[in-house]
Structure 1
Amino acid sequence: MDNRINEIRRKISALRDEMIVAEGVIRDQVNHDHDCTEAAHRLLAMRSEMTVLIGQWKAAGGSERLPDVREHLKRQPVARPKKD
């Protein structure tokens, strides 16, 4: 069971990284007055996926506190898209 919990946690961590990058892309598109509809839809899909993963993690017996985004960023900085 621990392996399943650890695998789900790895997926959650990777998804958080992707979400942070997607948020940066949206921010950049908005700042340049571009349409961010596609990126926003991808981010919403990622949030839905995160909800499912957290449910699976809890169902598998995960009980420790999951780190929030700030704590996650402190442990593992993510490359941000370059601004033009």
Structure 2
Amino acid sequence: MADVEAAVRASINADRDCTEQALAQMDLRQKINLLVGEWKAAGGGDVLPDVRDRMRLRLKKSVGHPKRANTRR
């Protein structure tokens, strides 16, 4: 999904048509919403992680390990 969002931003910044990428992005968001709805209907009640939580965890892990801070995941 991040790749599609980046493609939309790049097209917009270059003043090009991004209709196909934007439609693909909306389709992915709709699929995610459906999956979350199915998960909740199946009894899922946990708080789902968001990007900010993942970034905080990544920063905490790399504070004591300088080698990890330089590697991409």
Normalised TM-score (structure 1): 0.60
Q: How many residues align?
A: 59
Residue of structure 2 equivalent to 1:66? 48
Q: CA–CA distance in 2 between the matches of 1:35 and 1:71? A: 33
Q: Which runs of 4+ in 1 moved over 3 A?
A: none
| Partner residue in 1 for 2:37 | 55
Give me the TM-score of the superposition, normalised by structure 2.
0.68
Per-residue deviation, 1:51: 1.0
Identity fraction in percent: 41
Question: Using a 3 Å threshold, how does the CA distance of structure 1 residues 69 and 48 change in structure 2: closer, same or farther?
Answer: same
Aligned alpha-carbon RMSD (Å): 2.1
- Counterpart of 1:40 in structure 2 is 22
Return the offset for 1:36. Answer: 0.5
Greater RCO structure (CA 8 Å; 6+ sep):
1
SS in 2 for 1:61: coil
User: Which of the two has higher C-alpha Rg?
Assistant: 2
Report the AA paired with residue 18 of structure 2.
C
Gaps of 5+ in 1: 1-18, 80-84
How far has the Cα of 1:59 moved from its partner?
1.2
